[in-house]
Every structure is written in structure tokens, then in C-alpha cells.
Amino acid sequence: MSPHLADTHLADTQRPAFRFAPSPNGPLHLGHALSALIGFERAQAVGGRFLVRIEDIDAGRTRDDHVDAILRDLAWLGMAWEEPVLRQSTRFHAYDAAARRLLDDDLLYPCFANRSQINAVIANCPNPRDPDGAPMFPAVLRRLSRADAADRVARGEPHALRLDMPRAVATVRETLNGAPLTFTEISNEGASQSQTARPERWGDVVIVRKETPASYHLAVVVDDAFQGITHVTRGQDLFAATDIHRLLQVLLGLPEPVYHHHRLIVGPDGQKLSKSAGAGGLADLQAAGLTPAGIRARIAL
């Protein structure tokens, strides 16, 4: 390689890295197209890397034909990504190691309560809501005595692991020497703005699910770090979840990416498109004669 090329071709570890991280539980729709295209184009604009990660920790909802269709749709839209595509279902050992570290630091506790027990407590005593509008985990169900919890775990009773949020927030405050927990949000126009993260408004979130040895929050921070992601591009609906992600990054000693939470595409009912609501998939639009340029026009890109 000529010295000139060597100068301009940065090693992978020095190049900005962007990712698109769909969950393969349905076909991609226009909202996904927007998310993927924004990440891809921003990566291209700065000579960065573009990675695709399949968020398939939920075995019951994952279908391989959806994974194939997702990659087909992305290629059809004109995107290229680095191989191999990372599948989170191959990464449980890494989530387990991260959860163990949090457990060793006494930041997680076993939770045996099931949905109906939690709902019964909430019905009797209205609870504050988290930023997604769900009731926070009720205080009366928080940490059992250590001996009791250890005994039930030893007996093999199914349980989730929840973050002890007050303890986690105090630990992070100490780690940051009292400085606020923040993240950098990049606007549409490319301007950086510091945002204060307020993870306490989520309460004791689940970090390891009862039926799956991970959770979205844990897997996303572990893998963004593993893949060297420097720029997280995703929908505005995940803006508040960034509070939890920043908290976990500090607790686990992981690097801090910058974030761009983009506008959402809404359907005729004004609600954000979702697979579960049966939003028309990209493949349907393609079959109906839309071109990639037509898709871009639809999402005003």
C-alpha cells in the first residue's frame, strides 16, 4: 500500500462504527428502512463502518426466514454491511459474564415474582410509571432477605435478575465522582448536545429475564461494546432507554458511544409503525411496485 493510502485508510478500531440492530420477529417496515438508511448514510459520510446485528435473544419470537428477509430487504435498499452479521443468540456467554460481574458487585437481585403477583400489588397501590408508561416494579416486592433469596435460588426456583437501581445509581455517582451521568445526542443537523441520563425513573429493571438468560438492555450494551460501535442510530422511542444503557456502560466499564435518536414514521392512525400492528412490510411495498427511491420518498429521506 502506498504511504498516501496508508495515511487515509484508518484501522477498523479507529473508524467510526454504526449499526442497525433489528429484532427478527417480523418483516422490516418503513420505520426500519429509515433507521437503517440513516445509519448507513452517516457511516458512509464519515468513512465509517456499518454493521448489522440481529437481536434474537428471544428464541420464541425469532424466525430464520425473518432474518433472511431482513438482509434481503437491506440489500434491496442498496445497503452493504460488514460480514459476519452478529446474532445475539450466539452471545449468551458474554451476557452471562456481564451479569455475573453485576451480581458480584451486589447490583442485581433475584426476583421470583410473576406478572400476576406484580399486577396484584400494583392494583392495590398505584405505582409510579416508567418512561414507557408501564408501572415501575413495586417497592414492596424488592429485595428479599439474602438468606431467603439464596435458598430459593439454590432450590432452582425460576427467577429474573433485577437491577437494584438505587444502589446502581449510587455506585455510578461514586465512579463519576459526583458528576452527572450524561450522553451525547447528535441532532439531525449533526450538532452534539449533552443530555442528562436519569435511570432512576425506570426503577429496578430486569437485566436477566426469567425465561431468557439476558435482556434487551444488557445485550445491547454488551454488544455495542463488543462490536466497537461508536455511533448508535435508532428511533426516538428508545431515547429514554439510553438512561439505562449509559448506567450499565459505567457499571460494566464499557466505552460510551454517541447517540442519534431519529424521528419515527407514523401510520395513518398517528401511531408509530410496529410489526405487531401489522405495518406493511418493505417486501409488500416492493411487490406492489415501489422502488428503493420510492421508499426513500415515502420516508422523506
The contact set with ligand GLU (CB under 6 A) reads 21-23, 55, 220, 234, 238
Q: In the chain, where does DSSP find H-type helix?
A: 3-8, 30-45, 64-76, 92-104, 115-124, 146-154, 165-175, 216-226, 242-251, 282-287, 292-298
Report the nearest approach of ligand GLU to the CB of residue 125 (Å).
32
Report the nearest approach of ligand GLU to the CB of residue 220 (Å).
5
Q: Are strands 49-54 and 108-111 parallel, antiparallel or unpaired?
A: unpaired
Report the nearest approach of ligand GLU to the CB of residue 238 (Å).
6
Closest CA to 241 of 223, 216, 258: 216
Report the nearest approach of ligand GLU to the CB of residue 90 (Å).
16
DSSP of 266-279: B-TTSSBP-TTTTP
Report the nearest approach of ligand GLU to the CB of residue 55 (Å).
4
Closest CA to 248 of 57, 90, 101: 101
Report the nearest approach of ligand GLU to the CB of residue 44 (Å).
19
Report the nearest approach of ligand GLU to the CB of residue 237 (Å).
8
Q: Helices 165-175 and 242-251: crossing angle, nearest 10°?
A: 60
Q: In the complex with ligand GLU, which residue's Cβ is closer, 105 or 130? A: 130
Sequence-distant (≥ 6) Cβ neighbours of residue 82 within 8 angstroms: 49, 50, 51
- 121 burial type by CB count under 10 A (0-12 exposed, 13-18 middle, 19+ buried): middle
Q: In the complex with ligand GLU, which residue's Cβ is closer, 88 or 127? A: 88
Query: Would you say 92 and 214 are in contact if contact means Cβ atoms under 8 Å apart?
Result: yes
- 143 burial type by CB count under 10 A (0-12 exposed, 13-18 middle, 19+ buried): middle
Q: In the complex with ligand GLU, which residue's Cβ is closer, 55 or 204? A: 55
Q: In the complex with ligand GLU, which residue's Cβ is closer, 145 or 188? A: 188
Q: In the complex with ligand GLU, which residue's Cβ is closer, 113 or 222? A: 222
Q: In the complex with ligand GLU, which residue's Cβ is closer, 23 or 127? A: 23
Look at residue 195 and give its three-state secondary structure.
Answer: strand
Q: In the complex with ligand GLU, which residue's Cβ is closer, 66 or 234? A: 234
